[in-house]
Structure 1
Amino acid sequence: MSVSAPPDQPSFFDQEISRLTLEIAMGFEELLTNNNLLNRKLEEVSGMKKEFATIADLWESFHEVMRDLKPEIDLREGEGVPGTGGHIVATRGSTS
């Protein structure tokens, strides 16, 4: 008494091979999708790094200019620093 599958149906072994092969293929598809997503995210981070480098260079240049700039404001007695509210602006033609 031998139990065998009918000739038109694949055996259990062949069915398992097909099922496992399909499962492995789906796993590779998922891996490829996740790998592509990771690559896109890494490219975004790299792009942001370049943008921040440009801004950092700009601030560094500004800092160097401000550091090298010597104060050239000549404060006379009774006058304040412009922009602080203590600066008096004289208008033309006004008589005091």
Structure 2
Amino acid sequence: MSKTEDENPFFERERDRLVSEVTTGFEELLSSSNILNRKLEEVLGMTKEYETIAALWGSFHELMRGQRNGADVSSEGAPPGLPGTGGHIVTSKQGNES
């Protein structure tokens, strides 16, 4: 029986060492996932900020594309354009004055 008494403390020590390694591994994993979650939240927050800027540039692009398409059409069929953009054409009708 002295052999089993000598083996028990070895297995208990080994078990305690392995439990300690697993605990340390889980703590590192938890810490890493918390860091990852914070970084993901930062990225998502930045994309929300850029949505309004992207919408503004999208509107500008559509306006410029409309201006370019309007320049290709003859002046009679061209859309009037927007004031302040250089595409607004002011016409005056001259009547026959007798």
Is the pair's TM-score, using the shorter chain for normalization, greater than 0.5? yes
1:56 is matched with which residue? 47
Off by >3 Å, runs of 4+ in structure 1: 69-73
Structure number having the greater helix percentage: 2
Count of matched residue pairs: 66
Structure 2 length as normaliser, TM-score? Answer: 0.60
Q: Unpaired runs of 5+ in structure 1?
A: 5-10, 76-96
Structure with more contact order per residue of length (Cα contacts < 8 Å, sep ≥ 6): 2
Structure 1 length as normaliser, TM-score? Answer: 0.61
Written as runs of structure 1 = structure 2, the 5 A alignment for 1:17-96 is 17-69=8-60, 70-71=63-64, 73-74=85-86
Q: Unpaired runs of 5+ in structure 2?
A: 65-83, 88-98
Identical columns (%): 12
- Specify the SS of the correspondent of 2:30: helix
- The Cα of 1:19 is off from its aligned counterpart by 0.5
